Structure 1
Amino acid sequence: MVLLRTGRYSARRLGWGLALLGLLLCVPLRAAEVLLTASEDSEGVRTFTQELASLRPQDQVHFVPLAQLPAPGQLPGGIRLVLLDPQSLDWRLQEPLGPATLVLRISRLQAEQRLQGAPRARLSLLWSDPPLARQLRLIRSVLPQVRRVGVLYGQDSQFLLEELRLAARSLELEIIAESWDNIGDSRPLQAVLRNSEVLLGLDDPSLYNPKTVKNLLLSSYARQQALIGPNAGFVRAGSLASTYSDQQDWLQTLDKLLDQPPAHWPRSLYPAAFKVLSNPQVARSLGIEEVDAQAVARQLSEGEKRP
């Protein structure tokens, strides 16, 4: 009889345990509230939010336009805040209080103008411009004979030169830099092209924009020199190639970060996922072998994974 009662008791406990386990399995173990915001409510923003929500069904993912939000310090501290444009970063910087924040698609220049190189607590920056070292490795991959890399810089982008030169030294490349503060004066452009073998574009809108694109491309073509970067848009306009991260790459990066506790988020990060875009017509006109974008992207990615 004792054994029988013990068996019934054990069976009852096992049943309760299974019921409790079932309840726990129904409760999201990583459930979080993810709030996305931007200054404009567009179809693209809504699509991005929906795709992120589909990746994270265990979380509450929603978008609220910036104009409808209170001050950052009035938001619940437990939410995970995702900013989608520079205007929302300006709002977040109004006060130090506020939830842990991921800033998506912010350029190095935009951050430097706002932060002056000083990190902020509970703020993680995900860079939109291609990493300088990755762009230099792209040059080594598609133009292996090149050693002198020309770079135009302005007041806003001058701070990038030290990092660029450091990355170039490890690849045995030389940076030929020229200040181009007046885009109406072509002499710095001509000088840098004359003294280099390829032009690397920095993601500086004061230099690389619709007003300068024709002069930049025609001048480099006249010397049979390629322009690398500064972004995918310029490749479509006529530069040879660039690395870039698209929306799927951003979603993958954001999904991985949201799996981590906010205390583990990095101060800044380039998306690990990226692609290479090339312009075959430009390659032909410059007498350069056509770039196999997928193969080059794999090569660059494998090189970054190796210590």
Structure 2
Amino acid sequence: MEAVIRTCWALLLYCSMIAAHADIAMIAPSSTAQAQKFAQMLEASLRDTPVPEKVDLLDLNTEFDLKKYRLIITLSGSTLRQLIADDRLPDGIPVVASYLSKAEHRQYKSYVTSAVYSEAPLQRQLALAEAIFGENEVFGALVANDASALVSADNLRVYPIAEYDSLNHALVELLGSSKALIGVYDPELYSAENIKSILITSYRHNRPLIGPTQAYLKAGALASTYSTPEDVVKRLSEVITSGLGEQGRFPASNYNPYFSVGFNRQVGRSLNLLLPDPVEVARRLRSQEVIQ
């Protein structure tokens, strides 16, 4: 009888160890409160799916063994870049990158199984501009020197700065023939040094900035689409369920289909614009896109 009891306790202990084991490693630059909450949100989101895996939050600056996990999730492009530089990604284990720009994905795609891009697609920001000003208006986008990754649209004109004497020269020409400036995701072009000049010049011409991210709303952009942490968790949950579940196939890297619309209503009033309902606009824009 005593031997049976010992065996039962051993089985219970083994089962508890299995239950506590995490199959997903989430790697962050540091173990901040925001990163911890994000990991908890993802684990909760997976709880009622076919792959209710536990999530371990790992600090990039600490030692860890990734070989014991089924899946690796990276938070930010800098995290992925550091893991690659340190040769810490084991072979044969899928990597899903979050908060990775499309440009970063092009650079590191051989290391990534799937990714949820950090920025919104230009097509979505253009659709937002059309929702505010109308589909028949012409809009402009500043780019550094490469327009190959941008959407092709009849009402969008692209101005590569490399073809002008200066950023300001390109911007002034754009503003003279466009209803609004559509901001592309380019941290160097839309840097802290440049954004003030871009916004001042734009509003001198009575032309607003749309996008490129939520952060620019506070700086003076009129509107932008953006994905909240909850939106990112929702998409990651779908990617993980598809890849680790019965389907066994991770979706191709892509933009997040879940997003919101934000307005700077003070800027809208200064331009005498009657802005639509952001919830309704977001719903309409989402209905125009196809989740892959």
Work out whether the TM-score is over 0.5.
yes
Q: What TM-score results when the alignment is normalised by the length of structure 2?
A: 0.81
Matches within 5 A, 1:156-171: 158=146, 161-166=147-152, 168=153
What is the CA distance between 1:136 and its match in structure 2? 1.4
1:230 aligns with 2:230: no
Which position in structure 1 is the counterpart of 2:3?
none
Shift of residue 100, structure 1, vs aligned partner: 0.5
1:209 aligns with 2:203: no
CA contact (8 A) 1:79 1:100 kept: yes
More moved, 245-254 vs 87-96: 87-96
Deviates more, 1:31-40 or 1:244-253: 31-40
* 2:25 pairs with 1:35: yes
Aligned residue number for residue 90 of structure 1: 81
1:264 aligned to which of 249, 260, 264: 249
Question: Within 5 A, what are the aligned runs for 1:65-84?
Answer: 65-69=59-63, 75-76=66-67, 79-84=70-75
Correspondent of 1:63 among 53, 57, 76: 57
Contact 1:152-1:180 within 8 A present in 2 as well: no
Per-residue deviation at 1:219?
1.0
RMSD: 2.8
In 1, distance between residues paired with 2:140 and 2:122? 13
1:266, CA displacement in angstroms? 2.2
Residue 86 of structure 1 aligns with an amino acid whose one-letter code is G
Structure number with greater Rg is 1
Deviation at 1:120, TM superposition (A): 1.8
Q: Distance in 2 between matches of 1:306 and 1:102?
A: 17
The reply to whether residue 153 of structure 1 matches residue 131 of structure 2 is: no
User: Does the 8 A contact of 1:180 with 1:189 survive in 2?
Assistant: no
1:306–1:289 distance in 2 versus 1, CA, 3 Å: farther
TM-score normalised to structure 1 length: 0.77
Encode CA deviations 1:99-123: one digit per residue, 9 max, x unaligned. Answer: 10110011123334x33xxx42652
- Could you tell me which runs of 5 or more consecutive residues in structure 1 were left unpaired when the two chains were aligned: 1-27
267 and 32 in structure 1: CA distance in 2 versus 1, 3 angstrom threshold? farther
- After TM superposition, give the deviation of residue 187 of structure 1 in Å: 1.6
Cα deviation, residue 182, structure 1: 9.4
Contact kept in structure 2, 1:154 and 1:181, CA below 8 Å: no
The answer on 1:109 being equivalent to 2:96 is no
Higher RCO, Cα 8 Å, sep 6+:
2
- Matched pairs, number: 265
> Are 1:252 and 2:234 matched, yes or no?
yes
Is structure 2 residue 40 aligned with structure 1 residue 50?
yes
Change (3 A) 1:99 1:183: farther
Question: Contact (CA 8 Å) 1:99, 1:122: kept in 2 or not?
Answer: no
Distance 2:24 2:220 in 1: 39
Secondary structure at the counterpart of residue 267 of structure 1: coil
* Paired residues of 2:159 and 2:170 also in contact (CA < 8 A): no
How far the C-alpha of 1:213 sits from its partner, in A, is 2.0
Q: Secondary structure of the equivalent of 1:76? A: helix
Q: Deviations over 1:12-55 (max 9, x none)?
A: xxxxxxxxxxxxxxxx9xx9711100222211101111222222
- 1:107-144 superposed Cα distances (whole Å, 9 cap, x missing partner): 123334x33xxx42652121011111111111111110
